[in-house]
Chains A and B, each alone.
Chain A
Amino acid sequence: MEWIADFLVFALCYAGLSCLCLAMDRHYADLHGRGAEPPLLLRRRLQWGGWLALAFGLAWAMHHSGAGYGTVVWVGSLTGCGLLLIWLLPYAPRHAMLLARVAGVAALLAALVLALW
């Protein structure tokens, strides 16, 4: 079970960062062609979703492994996921965003498993 708990923090961090990233003009344009801007509603949703995912990640990490240790795990995951995302973006932007969707779904599944356990 331990690894599912850690994985949930990871998945939430990656999904959250990707949402925040996609809500930015430059990175939205990377994916949808030059000059494309996300529609206002979509941008709001991405921003809300992104921050919520990060906040849930932090809350879960702190709940699962204590406030201090959990915060360190969360900051570390944030760094790791951020580096992965930035590395993927210029070379394989579509895969980066596909991975974000997979991470989002996986996070839901992991949360479900952990809740039912």
Chain B
Amino acid sequence: MKEGFRQSMAWLHTWSGLLVCWILLLVFCAGTASYYRAEITLWMQPELHAAASNTVSTEQAAATAQSAMQERAQGATRWFITLPGERNPALQLGWSKPSKPGEKKKGRRGNFHSEKADPSTGEVLSKPRETRGGEFLYRLHFDLHYMSALWARWIVGFCAMFMLVSIISGIVTHKRIFKDLFTFRPKKGQRSWLDAHNVAAVLPLPYHLMITYTGLVTLMFMYMPSGVTTAYKGDQDAFFSEAFPARAGEAKAAGVAAPLTPFAPLVRQAEQKWGAQVGLVSVNLPGDANATVTLRRAGGRDMSSKQPTMEFDGVSGKLLATYGDDPGGASSTHGVMVGLHIANFASPLLRALFFLSGLAGCAMVATGALLWAVKTRQKQAKALAAGKRPGFGLRLVEALNIGAIAGIPIAFGAYFWANRLLPAGLEERPKEEIACFFGAWALAAIVAQLRPTRAMWRLQLTVGAILLAGLPLLNVFTTQSHLGVTLFMGRGPVAVAAFDLVMLMLGLGLAYAAIKLKPLPARAAKAARPAVKADVTPDTAAGAA
């Protein structure tokens, strides 16, 4: 090592971070939004807002679901019933039918039908507009889009590994981690950017380490299959059926019809045993003599992502087996790690803290990317002052920064605007919404490449601010559940009001950043640019989510 240990770590930190920061920013933004995946989906289906506030017991909901399914899911071999919980007020009914002989297979979910129903009456909720809602953002953060999920997961895993390297080398590089713990000095150019980067990285450091590491853990069977391959002699399926049991039995149909046992007593029995609500009811071969009913516990406050299940005989209602009551050490470790990543266990308050830490993660990535540009511009200051053009690398990074940091909020905004403005009955509506997301982003990124200037920052931040902060206003014209109703009249779901308010705040953050970037007086413009650019507060980056 020619230089000291710390210098080489600083080098590693800079380049491992810069190389992947734009994809990481997308992953962080989409991942942070995914904490509110159910709420975002609810917001994006205003037709369901009116029904979102009624509550019934899980027992009653299970009974309602059963009679609704018996009526509507004739001939299905599997039923999936998601009971209402604190974050999903509707019943989710799904069933799959066997494909007829000779019929072409329609893909994995080809014969799967799914609908939302009222938990007290069992009636199908007025058909909401089609949208992928928060699910798209959730998938985006590890499957990306317009490419095979397998490739995407390798790319995201690669970026996450770089992120982990970057975090650890960053800790080594940061000499005054405790002394500067509370230090933020605004309006000091590069210094302020470094402070902001440190604050966004150090305070939520436990979160950053956790989320990066557990993110890799969620896909570890794909990234590091050798352990499983060796132990199970290449039989991956054997491992999965052992590690994740209770994927409702693969029993053969008896071919003899038999009535299905009522669900309500089974739900009561399970809830008494677990002391927690049932989340999912799945039925194999309903109506057959060999039917089984499997109940899975709802997430609750338990940190593990693995929930115990109980399997019942579908005709007599006798308990056949229980799974996951006392998982082994490795299995519960894995469960807790995945659980921590997806945070389904979090109460509303803790969820908000996760969201805040996620925003800090976005800010960390964004300020890191900006810091590289600010530093490099400083290095080239003399040449720039002499009227030379910035080097290729600097120009590229600055343009990518605009396209990512200012462009991603535009993409999110376009997605939500498209949800409200595209006609409800549009063919392949979800696809069109997603096209709006990527169309807007591509436009922002390309324009940024053409003119990566201060004016471009202002323009794109302003557009992002208008799109996000304009959402509550757009709601007034397009829905019956805008802030005037949800906030001032106290009707309608809290989640919808909160979504509007958070968007308003993020939009205002972007607007603040745009205002801070006031145009420079023409003469001083060139020399002073790096310093004044640094006047943007970290709000810019936080707003990027």
Any B CB within 8 A of the CB of A106: no
Closest to B206 in A: A75
| Separation of A83 and B201 alpha carbons in the complex (Å) | 11
Q: Which residues of B contact A21 (CB under 8 A)?
A: 181-182
Among B325-347, those with CB < 8 Å from A are 336, 340, 345-347
| Separation of A73 and B185 alpha carbons in the complex (Å) | 29
Any A CB within 8 A of the CB of B112: no
Q: Hey, what's the 0/1 contact readout for A71-108 against B, CB within 8 Å counting as 1? A: 01101111110110111011100000000000000000
From B3-11, B86-94, B350-358, the one touching the partner chain is B350-358
> In the bound complex, do residue A90 and residue B353 qualify as a contact, i.e. CB atoms below 8 Å apart?
no
| Separation of A82 and B202 alpha carbons in the complex (Å) | 10
> In the bound complex, do residue B183 and residue A26 qualify as a contact, i.e. CB atoms below 8 Å apart?
yes
> In the bound complex, do residue B360 and residue A83 qualify as a contact, i.e. CB atoms below 8 Å apart?
yes
Q: Which residues of B contact A17 (CB under 8 A)?
A: 182
> In the bound complex, do residue B203 and residue A89 qualify as a contact, i.e. CB atoms below 8 Å apart?
no
> In the bound complex, do residue B345 and residue A69 qualify as a contact, i.e. CB atoms below 8 Å apart?
yes
> In the bound complex, do residue A24 and residue B350 qualify as a contact, i.e. CB atoms below 8 Å apart?
no
> In the bound complex, do residue B203 and residue A90 qualify as a contact, i.e. CB atoms below 8 Å apart?
no
Would A90 and B185 be within 8 Å (CB), given that A24-B179, A69-B301, A80-B356 are in contact? yes
| Separation of A76 and B343 alpha carbons in the complex (Å) | 12
> In the bound complex, do residue B182 and residue A86 qualify as a contact, i.e. CB atoms below 8 Å apart?
yes
- Chain A interface category by residue count: 20 to 34
Could you say which of A24, A83, A85 contacts B356, with CB atoms under 8 Å apart?
A83
Q: Hey, what's the 0/1 contact readout for B184-212 against A, CB within 8 Å counting as 1? A: 11100000000000010001101100000
| Separation of A17 and B345 alpha carbons in the complex (Å) | 27
| Separation of A24 and B179 alpha carbons in the complex (Å) | 8
> In the bound complex, do residue B301 and residue A83 qualify as a contact, i.e. CB atoms below 8 Å apart?
no
Of A27, A68, A83, the most chain B CB neighbours within 10 A belong to: A83
Q: Which residues of B contact A83 (CB under 8 A)?
A: 199, 203-204, 356, 360
Would A76 and B182 be within 8 Å (CB), given that A69-B301, A69-B345, A86-B199 are in contact? no
**6 nearest A-B residue pairs (beta carbon):** A76-B353, A82-B203, A79-B204, A21-B182, A75-B206, A86-B184
Measuring CB to CB, which residues of chain B are less than 8 angstroms from any residue of chain A? 179, 181-186, 199, 203-204, 206-207, 301, 303, 336, 340, 345-347, 349-350, 353-354, 356-357, 360
Apart from A73-B350, A79-B207, A83-B203, 8 more pairs, CB < 8 Å: A21-B182, A24-B182, A75-B206, A76-B350, A77-B353, A79-B204, A82-B181, A86-B199
